[in-house]
Structure 1
């Protein structure tokens, strides 16, 4: 495995804790605050902490303390004689909001695997409902308009949808993490008269040199319709890794194959079947 790291892990912070550990602790804290899940291990034997072994009242009190003061998070583990389960959080992907966005986020996605469903409860602030679905069920609900998934979450859900079983997914997850670094993705927008195309790394149209503050917008596409431009690219067989958005709730994935959802054609443009996103990852797959 190379030593290459995404900027969010490589940049210096005013902390003695390595970035890889600090960001995992932050992810665990936010999960506890917003979803009520405490991922921990016992200090004495390293076994997974069973949240069901504690009364709901005690855990709710701990959660309220952390919501009031994030510094209390580590104190919770001390009182439980546990430590944060940072070793189980596995890097999955990293997405940076395009520079034209009103608010930008550099988001590192982690995955944690458990054989049993965790204890979940919404906080009526950041989260308002808790439900459990498979990736395919989630995508179907999104296509039916029941839930909204921003492009990165939809892309990753479609990628997870490739795996036929939890065991296969877990094996792939750890093998990829051991052998490949995570690379940050910065989508490059192409505005059309009726929507937006986002070019992703690996596409032949993706800029070779791109800074965090460049959107590299193409003026020659602004007066064209999405359908006109995508048809033009299909004929030239040049588009490899692009998705198309007509509105916030409607994402079109461009490929030879077509899937219908939410009254729209999910039709994308992966014309080059040998295009892979790199870092040992897999391309997304449409609904099964």
Structure 2
């Protein structure tokens, strides 16, 4: 059971996550990592690649292709510096956690094989190398045009660890392979969104509310092209929870029950978490 909520809300840390997509034999598929159970945040949960912003990433001089930081700032309702950091964090974390690199030698190309960047990937994970320095050293251009904004979720103020996370979607580049070479995950998989949600509902996997909501939203699209073309209004969402016996129901803004719902997920053995 989680500890008591902090008396003073913790300031949420900026973070980014990418739902990496591909067209599979049975429809649109998404890449998922099953986090190691002992991790401080979301231990044992199934998640998309992602993590916190590293302020060293967003060097204003890094080579950048696609919508400028001003475009991203408008979508995510933040400053241009923050927008640059968020996009860089999304691309860096995806490379660190599954070896997929959304960058290329030129503004209209993307690397087809990332295996040669193994040492740099390890150095990025160890924070011995910044992402901007990595791109500059390898003469690579960050392909901001290969990612699309999806949503913004903020951890409730009652939680001891809080993140202001921007969600992105991106297609797996041709020739690249998403792997499970990360100490943060016990295993990885490609699944259709409906399969991933079904595994959660049956108790095989754990999903946090932002993950299963995102999976359900992506499941509305039949192809990667359709998902990437979605025009979405990005509004910050702070989920809350309403207890109904042994059922925990996630309540989202706009629900009449939202004002009276709790922000702290006080899970107990036998509890079930249900969709709103």
**Are residues 165 and 68 of structure 1, via their aligned partners in 2, closer, same or farther at CA, if it must alter by over 3 Å?**
closer
Q: Is this contact kept in 2: 1:98–1:189, CA < 8 A? A: no
Shift of 1:24: 0.7
What's 2:177 paired with? 119
Root mean square deviation of aligned Cα: 3.0
- Distance in 1, matches of 2:129 and 2:123, equals 9
**Residues 219-230 of structure 1 correspond to what in structure 2 (within 5 A)?**
none
Any gaps of 5 or more consecutive residues in structure 2? Answer: 1-70
How far the C-alpha of 1:113 sits from its partner, in A, is: 2.2
- Match of 1:150? 208
For residue 70 of structure 1, report the CA deviation from its aligned partner: 5.4
Could you state the TM-score of these two structures normalised by the residue count of structure 2?
A: 0.62
From 256, 262, 276, give the equivalent of 1:204: 256
Distance 1:198 1:247, change over 3 A: farther
Q: Is 1:72–2:153 an aligned residue pair?
A: no
Residue number in structure 2 paired with 1:283: none
CA distance in 1, matches of 2:257, 2:148: 31
One of 110, 116, 132 as aligned partner of 1:48 = 110
Q: How do 1:1-288 and structure 2 match up within 5 A?
A: 6=76, 9-10=78-79, 18-43=81-106, 46-50=108-112, 52=113, 56=115, 58-69=116-127, 71-114=129-172, 116=174, 118-172=176-230, 176-177=231-232, 180=233, 182-207=234-259, 216-217=260-261, 250-254=272-276
How many residues are aligned here?
201
The separation in 2 between residues aligned to 1:34 and 1:204, in whole angstroms, is: 39
Larger radius of gyration: 1
Cα deviation, residue 247, structure 1: 6.5
Structure 1: which 5+ residue stretches go unaligned?
Answer: 11-16, 208-215, 219-244, 255-288
Return the structure number with greater relative CO, CA threshold 8 A, min gap 6.
2
TM-score (norm 1): 0.60
* Structure 1 or 2: more helix by fraction: 1
What secondary structure is seen at the aligned counterpart in 2 of 1:119?
A: coil
SS of the aligned residue for 1:27 comes to: helix
